Amino acid sequence: MFWGVDIGSTYTKIIGIGREKEITHHVVIPTIFNQDVIVGEYLADKEVKMLVATGYGRHMLGDSHGAPVISEIKAHAKGAYFFHNEVKTVIDLGGQDSKVIKMGDNGGFTDFRMNDKCAAGTGKFLEIAANRLGLDMQTFANAGFEHDKELTISSMCAVFAESEVISLIAKKESLANICYGVHESIASRLASMAKKFVVKENDCIVFTGGGALNPFLHHMLELKLERKILVPEHPQLIGAVGAALSGFEVVN
pLDDT 10s digits, 233-248:
999 999 999 999 999 9
71 phi and psi angles, rounded to 5 deg: -70, 160
CATH for the stretch 85-231: 3.30.420.40
112 phi and psi angles, rounded to 5 deg: -160, 160
CA angle 32, 112, 104 (to 5 degrees): 115
Rounded to whole angstroms, how far apart are CA atoms 72 and 54?
A: 6
The answer to whether the predicted template modeling score (pTM) of the entire model surpasses 0.75 is yes
Q: If we measure between CA atoms, which residue out of 222, 157, 135 comes closest to residue 184? A: 222
Q: How far is CA 164 from CA 86, 120, 146, 181, in A?
A: 40, 12, 20, 10
Q: Quote the pLDDT of residue 158.
A: 82
Q: Quote the pLDDT of residue 232.
A: 95
Q: Quote the pLDDT of residue 117.
A: 67
Q: What is the largest CA-CA distance in the chain?
A: 61
Cβ atoms of 88 and 198 closer than 8 Å: yes
Domain boundaries, the chain: 1-84+234-252, 85-231
pLDDT tens for each residue of the chain, 252 residues long: 999 999 998 999 999 999 999 999 999 999 999 999 999 999 999 999 999 999 999 999 999 999 999 999 999 999 999 999 999 999 999 988 999 999 998 999 999 999 866 777 888 899 999 999 999 999 999 999 999 999 999 887 888 889 999 999 999 999 999 999 999 999 999 999 999 898 778 899 999 999 999 999 999 999 999 999 999 999 999 999 999 999 999 988
Rounded to whole angstroms, how far apart are CA atoms 52 and 70?
A: 7
Query: In 3-state terms, what secondary structure has residue 102?
Result: strand
88 phi and psi angles, rounded to 5 deg: -115, -30
Cβ atoms of 150 and 184 closer than 8 Å: yes
10-39 residues labelled b (16+ CB within 10 A) or e (exposed):
bbbbbbbbeeeeeeeebebeebeeebbebb
Q: Quote the pLDDT of residue 156.
A: 77
List CB contacts of 23: < 8 A, sequence separation 6 or more.
15, 16, 17, 241
Rounded to whole angstroms, how far apart are CA atoms 5 and 74?
A: 13
List CB contacts of 61: < 8 A, sequence separation 6 or more.
5, 7, 36, 39, 51, 53, 67, 69
Q: Quote the pLDDT of residue 119.
A: 73
We find that the CATH architecture of domain 1-84+234-252 is 2-Layer Sandwich (3.30)
Beta strands in 104-222 (DSSP E): 109-115, 204-208
Tell me whether strands 23-30 and 11-17 are parallel, antiparallel or unpaired.
antiparallel
Q: Quote the pLDDT of residue 116.
A: 66
- Beta-bridge mates of residue 109: 103
Q: Quote the pLDDT of residue 200.
A: 78
Do 1-84+234-252 and 85-231 fold alike per CATH?
Answer: yes
